[in-house]
Amino acid sequence: MFNPTKKSFTSLSSREFEQYSLDILKEQTAELEDVYFAHDKIMESHDGNYQIDGYIEFTVMDVRYKTLIECKHYKSSITREKVVLLHDKLKSLGAQKGILISTSNFQSGAIQYAEVHGIALIQLTEAATSYELRESFNIITASGRKPFNYGKPYSGVLVTNDEHGISCSYLSRNNTKLSIFLLE
């Protein structure tokens, strides 16, 4: 399991970080039909214009779905307030889902709020970061593992909150948890 409290600041510039994050999302949504991606998009709403770091639209059963992506290239933990701001943008722009991608970890309040309001949290971390597999709390089944990411320098870690606590999952071509999140 990846340690969600570990700081993993990257050497990417803010723009490189945003584009790398969108590349990870393109890989994760490859099986969706009629997918449209935009970077650094200005969107109009009844209450003003919003700058969005990334935007995804896709069609499922003839319904068009919108997803807003915010990228936070921070050294400090992501607070609940940052997730609340993304949720407010979702409501104003009529989007169904939100994704917040960070170079830093997420505070527990941010994770809890995101879970309730349909926002995925992803931490970008160095691919060389090792992790442990746990069967349950304090029972380690494998340690020192490194994610397989097809030679890319960074990996995305989906951070969720469930009945057992905080759960982390490395995103890859074989891990479809983010696609499932978008379709729920």
Concatenating the DSSP letter of every residue in 26-44 gives: HHHTTTSEEEEEEEEEEEE
In a domain, 66, yes or no: yes
User: pLDDT digits over 136-177, tens only?
Assistant: 554 444 455 555 555 566 777 788 777 767 777 777 777 778
d(CA 33, CA 60): 7
Q: Which of 143, 17, 121 has the alpha carbon at shortest distance from 77?
A: 121
In a domain, 177, yes or no: yes
In a domain, 153, yes or no: no
> Where residue 97 sits, what CATH number does that domain have?
3.40.1350.10
In a domain, 6, yes or no: no
In a domain, 143, yes or no: no
For residue 35, give both structure tokens: 């997918």
In a domain, 144, yes or no: no
In a domain, 32, yes or no: yes
Q: Which domain holds residue 51?
A: 14-124+158-183
Q: Over range 64-78, report the average pLDDT.
A: 93
**Predicted TM-score of the model (pTM):** 0.82
User: pLDDT digits over 114-132, tens only?
Assistant: 999 989 999 987 765 555 4
Task: Specify the number of domains making up the chain.
Answer: 1
Q: What is the number of alpha carbons within 13 Å of residue 40 lying toward its C-beta?
A: 6
